Amino acid sequence: MKVFLALSVFFLLTFPVFSQIQPEVLVVYYSQSGNTKRMAEEVAKGAKSVSGVEVRLKSIEEVSEKDLLEAAAIIVGSPVYNANVAPAVQEFINSWPFEGRPLKDKIGAAFATGGGISIGEEGVMIDILRSMLIYGMIVIGGEKVESAFGASAITDEGPFKEGDWEEIFRIKANGLGRRVSQLVLRLPQKM
Ligand SMILES: Cc1cc2nc3c(=O)[nH]c(=O)nc-3n(C[C@H](O)[C@H](O)[C@H](O)COP(=O)(O)O)c2cc1C
């Protein structure tokens, strides 16, 4: 009897801790030749470095509406296509649920990869954040002023030409994910 009582008390005291649902950070990307995918992996790594959050990494083709609704934060990555968000990414964002604004108050952030310096990546991140604002999301940038609009990488010009993944881009991507996770934990969680 005593053992039973002790076990019951232990269960009652620890159940809320074990059953607590961790907020989710969804990192989602579109990538044809692998650069944006690589950046997404680094963003996810940064997000995972913060304990107390669940991180999901998916391509836009793999993401369901349920994934979007369950996430406390959505981080979207796109390559630069003719100085714009890749059409597949814009279509993906356009397909998000809007009625009743179920994405309102989720954190939103962006990352981008572009072939050349200053030929589109900043504009792409701002365009992603601008669309997120329509959904009522709380948009944020990266950790440092160098990633104020999000994390971006140059993949095909001068010293940044394919091959080595530059450390500065990795640091920006890690920092973006980390900051999103830290801020997610500071928001009141919806049950
Ligand atoms: C159709 C097309 C248009 C592009 N336009 C631009 C551009 O305007 N500016 C730029 O910096 N890079 C441009 N790029 C280069 C890609 O943005 C860059 O290679 C990117 O890293 C590709 O990402 P991914 O490897 O994830 O597919 C373009 C690439 C394609 C295929």
Averaged confidence pLDDT in the chain = 90
The architecture (CATH level 2) of 22-186 comes to 3-Layer(aba) Sandwich (3.40)
> Residue 14: CB within 6 Å of ligand 1?
no
| 6 C-alpha to ligand 1 centroid (Å) | 62
71 vs 190, higher pLDDT: 71
| 139 C-alpha to ligand 1 centroid (Å) | 24
Look at residues 77, 154, 144 and name the one whose alpha carbon lies nearest to residue 111: 77
By the 8 A CB rule, do 89 and 60 touch?
Answer: yes
> Residue 89: CB within 6 Å of ligand 1?
no
Q: What is the pLDDT of residue 15?
A: 45
ipTM of the prediction: 0.99
- In whole angstroms, give the CA distance from residue 151 to residue 141: 8
> Residue 102: CB within 6 Å of ligand 1?
no
**What are the DSSP E strand ranges found in 48-117?**
54-59, 71-81, 84-85, 107-114
> Residue 35: CB within 6 Å of ligand 1?
yes
Confidence grade of residue 166 (pLDDT, cut at 50, 70, 90):
confident
What does pTM read for this prediction?
Answer: 0.90
DSSP state of 61: G
Q: What is the pLDDT of residue 156?
A: 87
Placement of tokens 């692998």 in the chain: 34
pLDDT tens track for 5-27: 555 555 445 444 444 689 999 99
> Residue 166: CB within 6 Å of ligand 1?
no
pLDDT tens track for 15-69: 444 446 899 999 999 999 999 999 999 999 999 999 999 999 999 999 999 999 9
Helices (H), ranges, the chain: 2-19, 35-48, 65-70, 87-94, 121-134, 167-186
pLDDT tens track for 75-124: 999 999 999 999 999 999 999 999 999 999 999 999 999 999 999 999 99
Closest atom of ligand 1 to 39 CA is 26
